[in-house]
A = this chain, B = another copy of it.
Amino acid sequence: MQPDGRGSVAFLLAQLGAHAAALFTERVAALDLTPAQAGLLRLITVMPGRSQQAYAERLGVPPSRFVNLVDELESRDLVERRRGEPDRRSYALHLTTQGQAVMRDIGAVGRAHEDDLCADLTAAERQTLRELLGRIADQHGLLPGVHPGYRRE
């Protein structure tokens, strides 16, 4: 523990990260989504039309689990599987119109989440914080938008 009694950067990151993730889980639950589902919707938004394999690999999720994730979203008409062309073994994933609408809701949830979390910081302080955290993320090779703890949500 450090002189201020709050702990190291590493511990604060782990502690706040878990807290932020738990808050986000609650918030997207209001949209009847898990964080994993929300994350996949976002990824498809950013890079649409890829194969399931491509998304699964990027997220670090084993195929067997990924199928389930897509099944849930497809059964709710948020995501559409389209047979691959010309390789008909694969499926390309796309958001439906409903999926795009839900994606906008997720964006609103994300902004509320951010404001709640940083409520006590000024705009300048948030910017400083984002820069410092971004530097660490860069240095450790973390992909923007890909949650490492994704592997179990």
Contact = CB atoms under 8 A, between A and B. Distances in A.
Interface of A: 1-2, 4-22, 24, 46, 110, 113-114, 117-121, 125-126, 128-130, 132-140, 142, 144-149
A46 B7 CA distance: 13
A97 B17 CA distance: 34
Given A2-B130, A24-B10, A15 B137 contact: yes
Nearest to A16: B13
Contacts of A136: 16, 117-118, 120-121
Contact of A114 (B8, B128, B142): B8
B129 A9 contact: yes
Given A9-B118, A15-B146, 11 more contacts: A8-B110, A9-B129, A9-B133, A10-B24, A13-B13, A14-B147, A15-B148, A18-B148, A22-B148, A125-B132, A129-B132
7 contacts: A5-B144, A6-B144, A14-B149, A15-B148, A18-B149, A128-B128, A132-B132
Contact of A144 (B7, B17, B129, B139): B7
A139 to B, nearest CB: 5
Contacts of A119: 139
Question: Among the interface residues A110, A120, A136, A145, which one has the most CB atoms of the partner chain B within 10 A?
Answer: A136
